[in-house]
Amino acid sequence: MFIIRVSANQFILNQTKDTFCTGIPNFAAEHFSMQQRLVLYKIYLLLVLFLAGGSAIAQTEPAGKEPTPVNVDFSDLFEYIQQKGQTVQKLLGSVELHQDSVYMSCDSAFIFNELDVTAMGRVLIQQSDSVSIFADSLAYQGAIRVADLFGQVILMNGSQKLFTNRLNYDLNTRIATYDQGALLTNDTTQLTSKKGYYYVDSDEIFFKDSVQIIDPNFELRTDTLSYRTDTQVATFLAPTLIVQDSIKIYCEGGYYDVRNQVAQFTGNPQYQKGNESRATAYIIRYDGEKSEVTLQGNARFEEPGRKASADVLRYMEDTEEIFLIGQARYESEDKVIEADTISYDQKKEIYTTRGRSLISDPPHLIEADQIDYEKEAGMGIALGNVVWQDTSAGLSIFCDTARYREEGSYLQAMGGRNGRPMLISRIETDSMYLTADTLIAQNQLDTLTQDSSRMLMAYHDVRIFKSNLQALCDSVYYSTRDSLFRLYKDPLIWSDTSQFSADTIHVHLTQDGIDRIDLYNRSFITNSPDLKYFNQIKGKLIKAYLEDGEIRRMRVEGNAETVYYALDDAGAYIGANKTVCSEMLFIFAEQKLKEIRFYKEPSGQLHPMNQADHEALRLDGFRWEYDRRPKSIVDLFKKKL
């Protein structure tokens, strides 16, 4: 066996395809004939083939353009042999090679047919300025420009580093693949998987099987993932779980921008914070820098004591602010808020709504076009077509503007139709309508019994309409504790053909309707079936008792006076009876006066109709204001009555 060895200082790089003694050192050309050199190369080729374990396999060059040979730039020791058309070059120590723009270096290498390279020890492949691959060993097919790298393989592309034990790299397509596990690092981010495809030109990697990303800000696990190394954007192609501190996000599609900490999750996305807060939607977007979560499409958020839903939901983790947009609903332990949009600061307990809004705090409900509330200030304001209800008391208030406090369920109503808010109280199967310049509703707590009741106040130009009762006054006070309406300052009440007036009037309510009407000071009742002659009752205190909406008894106390027009059986007037005494009792039946009882020295006189001075028969304080009587709900909103 003959071996030609050339050291680095003897090696002359002079390789041409047409020269038989390609790469022959000078001393070999001087000491051996052509025939001797041929024998030496044949023996050397057999030895290299034996040492290489038969790895030198003839390659079939692809049709078309012939591949460029692998050129040797440097080696400490060079050995060369050729046999049966096959050439082998063995290079030892500081080996440097290149093929076109691809450069390789290693500790030792075999070059077969000037195309295929087997390299070992500190292997390096460089392609362009950006891609470098390090390995323990290399099998390179120069005809198709494909490299298989083994050992501790490192692919570097810019700031990205890919670590694996086995890598296939196609230098034509610049695609690297692995199937025995790999680790990609980018600054502080690490990504691992069992299989992968690295598209160097497009800066994209497809990771497959047991994919995991570990970053200081989060951890991700999935089965399939696409990752852009230039933008650091990971695209989810299979069920994926992301963990960030106490936050977990599951999805089956979407992306995560690692650099900017921005993500979008699709395909049954689910958000969970700790073991209690959960969210779902068609799409979930997450901004790590802002600590903001956006849920889009059938959005749902839930945590202990709170639920929220909307078309779009934004949640600020740091401030605990929630923004609900489209069919918004927020539910806490004590209330439900519904609107087109809701903004809710859970820490400060500030919320605003826009669009038709409903706040349900049973038994109280409030609706409006927009609502703003701040707990620290203890006050909220509702604007636009406001409807407030107390379902337990059967009360409703309608207005344009309402100021309210949740504490004490306080409400102040202003504005409305012609600037007048309206209250509706359900009585029996009927309703009572009340309007005024201002309405106030508030809860009251009895400190002794701890029972709660509802108080209502209405003031300035109060008007009341009920099918069997109408009223005017300056102000009204009502409490559900005693079911008593108190009318102040020149009150007037009409019922059937009767008119009631006094300094103050109390109307007692029961579940069956109006039970009693009390008139205090300058009490006066006027009745006129024909609006021509007027029956009159006057006294300090008058109490009228009703049943089924009709007066059954009437008691007059203190300086009682009456003028009553008597009728015969045919209903014709007989005369006017005027009586004065301390007390009187009137008894009615079938809407007619059946009996009058006079107490304590009564005095009276009957005036025949043809002799009576009807004007003179009118008692002091008489007034008939039938024209001011509200005859329908419309009259409650007129400019003046």
Residue 25: pLDDT above 50?
A: no
Residue 7: pLDDT above 80?
A: no
**Do 372 and 503 share a structural domain?**
yes
**Do 614 and 566 share a structural domain?**
yes
Residue 24: pLDDT above 80?
A: no
**Do 370 and 502 share a structural domain?**
yes
- What are the backbone angles phi and psi of residue 28, rounded to the nearest 5°? -70, -40
The answer to whether the beta carbons of residues 351 and 334 sit under 8 Å apart is no
| Total of domains in the chain | 2
For every residue of 211-225, DSSP letters joined together read EEEEETTEEEEEEEE
**Do 604 and 478 share a structural domain?**
no
Residue 363 preceded by cis peptide, ω within 30: yes
Distance CA 601, CA 212 (A): 107
Highest-confidence segment of 367-371, 404-408, 480-484: 367-371
Would residue 18 count as lying in a domain?
no
Please give the residue that has the higher pLDDT: either 393 or 28.
Answer: 393
In the DSSP assignment, the letter for residue 420 is B
Would residue 93 count as lying in a domain?
no
Would residue 593 count as lying in a domain?
yes
Last residue in a domain, options 510, 537, 571: 510
**pLDDT single digits (tens) 70-97:** 999 999 998 887 877 788 999 999 999 9
Would residue 388 count as lying in a domain?
yes
Element of type H or E holding 422? strand 422-427
Please give the residue that has the higher pLDDT: either 518 or 63.
Answer: 518
Residue 17: pLDDT above 70?
A: no
**Confidence (pTM):** 0.72
In the DSSP assignment, the letter for residue 12 is -
**To 10 degrees, the CA torsion angle through 480, 481, 485, 488?**
-120
**Do 536 and 454 share a structural domain?**
no
Please give the residue that has the higher pLDDT: either 453 or 271.
Answer: 271
Please give the residue that has the higher pLDDT: either 407 or 375.
Answer: 375
The answer to whether the beta carbons of residues 302 and 278 sit under 8 Å apart is yes
Mean pLDDT of 448-456: 74
Q: CB 540: neighbour CB atoms within 10 A?
A: 15
Mean pLDDT of the chain: 85
**Do 541 and 467 share a structural domain?**
no
Would residue 138 count as lying in a domain?
no
Q: Which domain holds residue 612?
A: 529-623
**Do 379 and 411 share a structural domain?**
yes
**Do 593 and 497 share a structural domain?**
no
pLDDT band at 406 (very low <50, low <70, confident <90, very high): confident
**Do 549 and 482 share a structural domain?**
no
Distance CA 478, CA 626 (A): 25
**Nearest C-alpha neighbor of 493 from the set 512, 513, 468:** 468
**pLDDT single digits (tens) 559-610:** 999 998 988 878 788 999 999 999 999 998 877 778 889 988 888 888 998 8
Mean pLDDT of 439-462: 81
Give the pLDDT score at 55. Answer: 38
Distance CA 306, CA 312 (A): 17
Would residue 483 count as lying in a domain?
yes
Mean pLDDT of 131-146: 94
Residue 18: pLDDT above 60?
A: no
Distance CA 580, CA 574 (A): 20
Give the pLDDT score at 235. Answer: 93
In the chain, pLDDT over 70 holds for what percent of residues? Answer: 88
Would residue 12 count as lying in a domain?
no
Residue 35: pLDDT above 60?
A: no
**pLDDT single digits (tens) 265-275:** 999 999 888 88
pLDDT band at 469 (very low <50, low <70, confident <90, very high): confident
Give the pLDDT score at 4. Answer: 52
Please give the residue that has the higher pLDDT: either 228 or 492.
Answer: 492
Residue 104: pLDDT above 50?
A: yes
Name 145's Cβ contacts closer than 8 Å, sequence gap at least 6.
67, 99, 102, 170, 171, 172
Residue 14: pLDDT above 50?
A: no
Would residue 413 count as lying in a domain?
yes
Residue 203: pLDDT above 90?
A: no
Mean pLDDT of 173-188: 90
Residue 611: pLDDT above 70?
A: yes
Retrieve residue 336's tokens: 């439900």
Strands (E), 216-320: 218-228, 233-236, 240-244, 247-251, 253-257, 262-266, 270-273, 277-280, 283-287, 292-303, 306-316
Distance CA 113, CA 17 (A): 11
**Do 483 and 619 share a structural domain?**
no
**Do 497 and 367 share a structural domain?**
yes
**Do 404 and 473 share a structural domain?**
yes
Name 154's Cβ contacts closer than 8 Å, sequence gap at least 6.
133, 134, 135, 161, 162, 163
The answer to whether the beta carbons of residues 471 and 494 sit under 8 Å apart is yes
Give the pLDDT score at 372. Answer: 95
Residue 65: pLDDT above 90?
A: no
**pLDDT single digits (tens) 503-516:** 999 999 887 778 89
Residue 414: pLDDT above 60?
A: yes
**pLDDT single digits (tens) 345-398:** 888 888 899 999 999 988 889 999 999 998 888 889 999 999 999 888 788 999
Lowest mean pLDDT among 49-63, 287-301, 345-359, 565-579: 49-63
The answer to whether the beta carbons of residues 275 and 302 sit under 8 Å apart is no
Q: What is the CATH number of the domain that holds 466?
A: 2.60.450.10
Give the pLDDT score at 408. Answer: 64
pLDDT band at 326 (very low <50, low <70, confident <90, very high): very high
Residues, the chain, total? Answer: 641
Give the pLDDT score at 64. Answer: 54
The answer to whether the beta carbons of residues 406 and 380 sit under 8 Å apart is yes
Give the pLDDT score at 59. Answer: 39
